[in-house]
Chains A and B, each alone.
Chain A
Amino acid sequence: MVDMVITGPLKHNYLLIETAIIGIFNILAGGFDFLTNNLF
């Protein structure tokens, strides 16, 4: 099993999951707020 949210460096960091999954540049572009709102 690989759980991308709890393994590796991800653990349970809210911002960290965003950056790991969709990439920091996409976050900075501001186009993925829905991800934050929906992920938790």
Chain B
Amino acid sequence: MEKISLTVNGQLRELEVTPETPLLYVLRNDLGLTGTKYGCGLEQCGACAVIKNGEKIYSCNTPVDACRDSEVTTIEGIGTLEKPHPIQAAFIEERAAQCGYCIPGMIIASKVLLDKHQHPDDKTIRQELSDHLCRCGTHPRILRAVKRADQEVNS
């Protein structure tokens, strides 16, 4: 166990943890941020995506050691129940969820995408989300939600 500090959703966190522990378990079990999901542990499904220093990373395969002194944003840091982020509001508006398990990862991916691109076209959105799997088949609504959010965020 080692002392590791990182900033999560704007808060400095100091942890005593084995450095190779995947960030996913630190977020979920030490910090209680369970919006980030385990899906495969292999960077193949996108359910565990979070933002580290502005870039999307897969927390299932990122040791917490690699996040020392980094800024990490999880789904809980994107918006709140009372004040959802425009991307979250767009997902609500489009009812872009069935079981919802993949949705935090989708929103993280959308956030990184819309931070980098103004008005991405359909092809770009699909490409950027293609590493994120949804088994319920909510894809058309997710695409609509991202486009709706883009109008809100980037206009």
**Bind each other:** no
